[in-house]
Amino acid sequence: MSLPKRPKSAAERKARVIRILSALNERYPGATCALHHNNAWQLLVATILSAQCTDERVNKVTPGLFRKYPAIEDFAAASQQELARDIHSTGFFNNKAKSIIGAARTILNDFHGEIPRDLEALLRVPGAARKTANVVLGTAFGIASGVVVDTHVTRISRRLDLTRESSPVKIERDLMKALPRENWILFSHQIIHFGREICIARKPKCPICPMTGFCYSEDRVPV
């Protein structure tokens, strides 16, 4: 099977990125964050819980969790041992409980109970590494602080040759250069849907992929 040719010039690479974004926009025009939440604090908690855990599992845990701890003050006053039991099924529960309680106390003490809308400030909150901060700022506030890089974004951005890096920080840097800023937030949501539906890790569904005409990944399935 012959693969599409790689673009050689900067103009050709830019045109290909536009085709990728157009394909994603056509298939997933209204893609949103898969984590259920009602406000920025709940989204921060859910994103912390999502580390090494599926969104589906997190969405099963958070309704009961937010009923038990309805306000950020309730999390700040929580027993770490009890909170760890409450989130046990999400994995790494001791570290996550410590992060969530630390986040609640930091936000109350340092930010007057408001989730900071600045990347550098949000990175000071326990549990809010760059990926988490980008999720919260992008989804809760519409602030394009960067590109969320999860396992789907890592795998697919490499398959699409938008990056050749393996480090999330370097992958994000490449994506921020390749993508228009107005696409930074939506791109990650779209890629996550795309990765679950079509560009699956072990056996991508290339015959039905809208990008097959300009994807030259070496592990693509013959069409």
The residues annotated as belonging to the active site are 131, 150
CA distance 109 to 123: 15
Report the length, in residues, of the chain. 223
Nearest to 121 by CA among 112, 111, 131, 113: 111
Tokens of 83: 């909170």
CA distance 92 to 49: 9
Tokens of 123: 């990175």
Query: For 16-27, b where at least 16 C-beta lie within 10 A, e where not — what string?
Result: bbeebbebbeeb
The CA angle 211-152-118, to the nearest 5 degrees, is 115
Residue with tokens 């960067």: 146
Helix (H) or strand (E) holding 114: none
